Amino acid sequence: MRWPRSASGWTVAVFGGTALLLGAVGLVWPDSLLVLLGFEVLDDAGRADGDYTRTFMAASSMASFNMGVYYLLAAVTDWRPFFRFTVIFRLVTFTVFTTLVLTDTAPVRFIGVAVWEAVGALATGIALAVERRRGAG
């Protein structure tokens, strides 16, 4: 088994492992992710015809699982251009998710997703900057 070779690689690996794990959980127990995110969970009798919540949960969980694999692969190969790319787009994700909460499109607990994205982006960005100053990147 290979491990990340840099602090920035470890920040990407942590995110990737979390994305992979939550994606797997969402595929097996989608209602648990809905609860975690603060959404109401309806039983089958309470769902209207055309309710595609479970379909969306399966699709987004599979995307999370795949993204986790990509991040872990980038971490163990120390693919620094990918690390830099993730900093930018995780900050974009933070902005979008925060906007969803502020516009009452998503519940307040969804802000945790936004914060997770921002903290991860900042951790990776700081690690990359420190490594660049030390001549490691």
Domain count, the chain: 1
d(CA 98, CA 96): 5
Q: For residue 84, tell me if it sits in a domain.
A: yes
The three-state DSSP-derived secondary structure of 1-18 is CCCCCCHHHHHHHHHHHH
Closest CA to 15 of 120, 85, 115: 120
Q: For residue 137, tell me if it sits in a domain.
A: no
User: The whole model's pTM is what?
Assistant: 0.87
d(CA 42, CA 16): 30
Domain that holds residue 77: 7-42+49-130
Per-residue pLDDT tens listing for the chain (137 residues): 789 999 999 999 999 999 999 999 999 999 998 888 878 888 877 788 888 888 888 999 999 999 999 999 999 999 999 999 999 999 999 999 999 999 999 889 889 999 999 999 999 999 999 999 988 66
